[in-house]
């Protein structure tokens, strides 16, 4: 885990997320890139000057946020992009190679009933980069107890587990698996990948309407300080493929959430 991307949105608490990322990066000897995406559209004759001005203002704002953080001697670099969010993520990843995105669940322009806002939801929806969602006000601490929740134990590629393996190894964390059998599950869904089984200390089966309901049922029993899920169109955040937000009634946990996915080759 070498390069960590921290998207900076409009939230007044952006420095808190960045501080969490810095503390996390220090443990993994990783570098941090703070990113702000803007979209400037104008007449051809003035577009270059306007873009340059907005880019400069964006860079100054990012510098102000960085100045509010105890960098712990972690390298923090600035990456900005003019255009659509998905294109910016793709270009920055192509240029430096992002191993993990760390972001807050929602920005301050979204109503409180939402867990993932338009920006954070779009990032989860439109990128295959593993992402760590850190709730507002979360103070960094090593993970001791990880709950991995899923409704299908099939993994197309073993390397999808790489971030989880690194976190487990770094903190010597305990990993519990929660297999949620939802309506319409198949026998193949119950075939759990051996690499996933190898890192776990306990496997629990449960029957629930959704994977989230399974997590709710077992959250207090397992006491995880990290929830790990898989990015699938029919998986934990399937509602994102219908819209770009997730309400707290559809999903909410008070701990960081690691969303695993495999970057396309």
- What tens digit of pLDDT does each residue of 122-147 get? 777 778 899 999 988 899 999 999 99
Assess whether pLDDT exceeds 90 at residue 249: no
Q: 93-113 pLDDT, tens per residue?
A: 888 899 999 988 864 444 567
Same fold, 3-103 and 145-260: yes
Q: Residue 258: what pLDDT?
A: 95
**For the chain, which residues make up each domain, given as ranges?**
3-103, 145-260
Q: 164-223 pLDDT, tens per residue?
A: 999 999 999 999 999 999 888 888 888 888 988 999 989 999 998 888 888 888 888 888
Q: Residue 109: what pLDDT?
A: 44
Tell me the pTM: 0.86
- Partners of residue 148 on adjacent β-strands: 177, 228
Of 85, 84, 83, 82, the C-alpha closest to 101 is 85
- The Cα 246–Cα 224 span in angstroms is 21
Give the CA count within 13 Å in the CB-facing half-sphere of 121: 22
Q: Residue 40: what pLDDT?
A: 57
Assess whether pLDDT exceeds 60 at residue 264: no
Residue carrying structure tokens 């219908």: 242
223 sits in the region (left: phi over 0; alpha: psi -120 to 50; else beta) called left
Backbone angles phi, psi at 73, to 5 degrees: 65, 15
Q: Residue 168: what pLDDT?
A: 96
Name the token pair of 193. Answer: 């990948």
Q: Residue 172: what pLDDT?
A: 95
Q: Residue 79: what pLDDT?
A: 81
Are 226 and 256 within 8 A, CB to CB? yes
CATH architecture, domain 145-260: 3-Layer(aba) Sandwich (3.40)
Residue carrying structure tokens 């995105």: 101
Domain 3-103: which CATH number of 3.40.50.720, 3.40.718.10, 3.40.50.620, 1.10.10.10:
3.40.50.620
Q: Residue 251: what pLDDT?
A: 73
Q: 18-77 pLDDT, tens per residue?
A: 999 999 999 999 999 998 776 556 555 555 566 677 667 778 888 888 999 999 889 999
């Amino acid at each position: 885990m070498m390069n960590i991307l921290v998207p900076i949105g409009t939230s007044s608490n952006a420095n808190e997320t960045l501080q969490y990322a810095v503390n996390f990066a220090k443990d993994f000897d990783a570098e941090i890139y703070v990113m702000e995406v803007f979209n400037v559209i104008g007449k051809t004759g003035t577009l270059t000057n306007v873009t340059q001005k907005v880019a400069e203002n964006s860079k100054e704002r990012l510098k102000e946020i960085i100045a509010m953080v105890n960098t712990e001697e972690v390298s923090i670099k600035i990456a900005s992009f003019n255009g659509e969010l998905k294109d910016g993520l793709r270009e920055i990843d192509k240029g430096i190679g992002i191993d993990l995105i760390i972001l807050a669940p929602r920005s301050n322009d979204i109503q409180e009933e939402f867990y993932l806002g338009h920006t954070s939801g779009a990032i989860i929806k439109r990128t295959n980069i593993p992402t760590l969602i850190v709730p507002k006000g979360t103070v960094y601490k090593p993970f001791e107890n990880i709950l991995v929740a899923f409704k299908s134990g099939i993994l197309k590629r073993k390397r999808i587990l790489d971030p989880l393996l690194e976190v487990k190894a770094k903190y010597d964390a305990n990993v519990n698996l929660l297999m949620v059998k939802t309506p319409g599950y198949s026998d193949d869904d119950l075939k759990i990948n051996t690499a996933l089984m190898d890192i776990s200390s306990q496997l629990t089966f449960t029957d629930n309407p959704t994977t989230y309901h399974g997590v709710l049922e077992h959250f207090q029993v397992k006491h995880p300080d990290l929830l790990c899920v898989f990015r699938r169109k029919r998986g934990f955040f399937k509602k994102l493929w219908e819209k770009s937000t997730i309400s707290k009634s559809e999903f909410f946990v008070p701990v960081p959430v690691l969303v695993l996915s495999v970057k396309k080759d």
